[in-house]
Amino acid sequence: MRRKRTLARTLMTLTLSLTLIAGCSAGENAGSGNNASAGNNAGAGEASARSKTSLTYASAKDINDMNPHLYTGSMPAQGIVYESLVENTKEGIKPLLAESWDISADGKTYTFHLRQGVTFHDGEPFNAEAVKANFEAVLANGEKHAWIKLSTKIASVEAKDEYTVVLTLTDTYYPALVELSMTRPFVFISPKDFKEGGTKDGVNGFHGTGPYKLTKHEPEQHAVFEANESYWGGAPTIKTITSKVLPAGETTFLALQKGEVDFVFTDDRGADSIDIGAMNQLVESGDYQLVRSEPMNTKMIVANTSKEGNPAAETAVREAIWHAIDREAISEAIFAGTEKPADRLFSENVNYADVELSKREYDLERAKTLLDEAGWTLGAGDPVRKKNGAELAMKLYYDSNSSSQKTQAEFIQSTLSELGAKLELIGEESSSIASRRASGDYDLLFNQTWGLAYDPQSTITAFTTASSYLHATSGIEQAEELYQKIDEVMVSTDGEARKALYADIMRIVHDEAVFIPLTNGSVTVVAPAELKGIAFKQTQFELPFERMGY
């Protein structure tokens, strides 16, 4: 009897004290963030002392299929394993696997002189034959790559000798080198990895020429990349990079505090895995630094100009919405100053975008006047403006996984309701938004431009493709003129003419207010405080890990 009672008591005490501990620490955690980080200095410090040559980054997505000629793999991971012929830098196109190239006078023939002595991770030589085989593998799956116009313009690829490749185009196409520099699909995998002579039905291995080799992959858990010691550009200082699958938010934050992961960056949908408050807390602890790239893209609301019954198909309504958005407030209150207000589709640091455009200020009175003049009038006592009996009501679609889009949508909704415009907010997953964009079943939706390496040429090409912005652009008056200019600009060989064409294109969509800009997004990196050489590429989709070191 007595023994039983003792046992019972011990059990109760144990459970009770555990709960008390949990309860107390919960209070402490909520009460002061500083306490939490003070306790963690030890954890993260130890982790970095243990190995000064590795990085572990958290990612919400698995690296997935690393086949570089398809689109399901993680771009940052593909970016360190595979390389392209040329590289897109701030100073323009630079050599990568091609040391130099000649372009024929008619702009149709590109002769690439390959870097010699480069091998794939499996030891296979990188030569003209390998380049030809990879191009052919990509072109064998042409439909998948239709978005990259170059893939539709290649007439032939020839291996002239061991290190010379001749690429012949059907038309002159000025962005050819830019498109060859992209993370996919024109990058190179060892021909030994090909399945049935190609890559479109999968590959047997993932051997590129890049600074890192994929050495281990536990799906949905982690992937390990080891430095390529015989990398032609010199062995990287960071010897091991681990990509760890962690859900965004609290879990990633706690893992960073403990030092289990020590690196996070903005993902390819523009979402950060931890919020601004958490980033600041990590930086305050002294273990981490926060590095932000220059603006990479423009976040915006896209209006469907071709949908019948959509009030935003009218220029005046789109302009009124533009004037009704307080971008300063969005930048300060929603992004804590980390994203700057954007007043144009392509900011001035984008190629060809240094164009004079009229600025539409935040001006509610102007917005009201525009609506009144367009015939959208507010009846006495009515909350919503009407025109010919139809209400000024629109649906705005946002990505339900992005907390900032939802907040912005609510903010814009409240301003517009003051003007007498009704905005219905609908959150959906990103693939569903993409599907609406393609089918034209939307009034307004959130989107972002594709980033420095892709702007303006790829985003502008997307104005004409059904799956992207065709529905957004086809309803405007000068649509035909716009498309003609887009066709012209892609084949123009004269720099000045191209500049003028781009200016016209940008002016048309700006004047028509098709793409209503919100903020400029950048890539954010949270890294160990002592890590040096943190830099960015010209895309929001990958990072140059090989240049980093302690």
Partner 1 sequence: MAPYIARRLLLTVPLLIVVSFVTFLLIRLSPMDPAEVVLQAQETPQITEELLAQTREELGMNDPFLLQYANWLMSCFRLDFGESYVSGQPVWSLIGPAFANTLSLTLISSVFIIVLSTLLGVVSALREGSLADKSTRGLSFFLTAIPSYGLASVLIWLLAVKLDWLPTSGMDSAASFVLPVAVIAVNYVGIYFRTVRSSVLSNKNEEYVLYARASGLSERAVTMRILRNSLQVAVAIFGMSIPIILGSTVVIENVFAWPGLGRLSVKAILSRDFPIIQAYVLIVAVAFVVINTVSDIVNAAINPKLRSERA
* Contacting positions for partner 1 (CB under 8 A): 4-5, 7-9, 11-12, 15-16, 19, 21-22, 25-26, 29, 36, 39-40, 42-43, 64-65, 70-72, 143-144, 146-148, 202, 218-222, 244-247, 250-251, 254-255, 257-258, 260, 401, 429, 431-432, 434-435, 438, 465-468
CB nearer to partner 1: give 63 or 330: 63
The residue among 127 and 183 lying less far from partner 1, judged by its C-beta, is 183
Question: Which residue, 29 or 417, is less far from partner 1 as judged by CB?
Answer: 29
The rounded distance, in Å, linking the Cα atoms of 303 and 301 is 6
State the nearest-atom distance from the C-beta of 279 to partner 1, in Å: 17
Q: How far is the CB of 46 from partner 1 (least distance, A)?
A: 8
**DSSP letter, residue 86:** E
Q: What's the closest the beta carbon of residue 329 comes to partner 1, in angstroms? A: 31
Taking the least distance from each CB to partner 1, the nearer of 18 and 235 is 18
157 vs 126, 136, 138, 220, CA distance in Å?
16, 8, 12, 38
Least Å distance, CB 158 to partner 1, is 28
Q: How far apart are CA 118 and CA 124, in angstroms?
A: 9
Instruction: Output the CA–CA distances (angstroms, integers) from residue 222 to 225, 315, 374, 522, 543, in the order listed.
Output: 10, 49, 56, 26, 18
Which residues are within 8 A (CB) of 149 and not within 5 positions of it... i.e. 6 or more apart? 173, 175, 179, 461, 490
Contacts of residue 437, defined as CB under 8 A and 6 or more positions apart, other chains included, come to 302, 445, 447, 467, 468, 469, 471, 472
Pull the structure tokens for residue 371.
Answer: 């609506």
Own/partner pairs for 231-236, CB < 8 Å, 24+ apart? Answer: 231/546, 232/115, 232/117, 232/118, 233/546, 235/211, 236/211, 236/212, 236/545, 236/546, 236/547, 236/549
Smallest separation (angstroms) from partner 1 to the CB of 427:
12
Cα-trace Rg, the chain: 27
Q: Please, which residue, 332 or 441, has the CB nearer to partner 1? A: 441
Q: Which is nearer to partner 1, 312 or 453 (CB)?
A: 453
How far from chain centre, in Å, is Cα 428?
Answer: 19
Contact 468, 437 (CB under 8 A): yes
Long-range contacts of 361-364 (CB under 8 A, 24+ apart): 361/323, 362/323, 362/324, 362/325, 362/326, 362/327, 362/328, 363/323, 364/323, 364/324, 364/415, 364/418, 364/419
* CB of 21 or CB of 329, closer to partner 1: 21
Give the shortest CB-101-to-partner 1 separation in angstroms. 26
Least distance from partner 1 to the Cβ atom of residue 483, Å: 16
- In whole angstroms, how close is the CB of 201 to partner 1 at the nearest point? 9
Give the nearer residue to partner 1 in terms of CB position, either 36 or 444. 36
Minimum CB separation from partner 1 for residue 91, in Å? 27
**What span, in angstroms and rounded, lies between the C-alpha atoms of 438 and 119?**
41
Neighbours of 129 (CB within 10 A): 13
- In the complex, what is the shortest distance from the CB of residue 324 to partner 1, in angstroms, rounded to a whole number? 32
Q: Which CB sits closer to partner 1, 161 or 201?
A: 201
Nearer to partner 1 among residue 370 and residue 462 (C-beta): 462
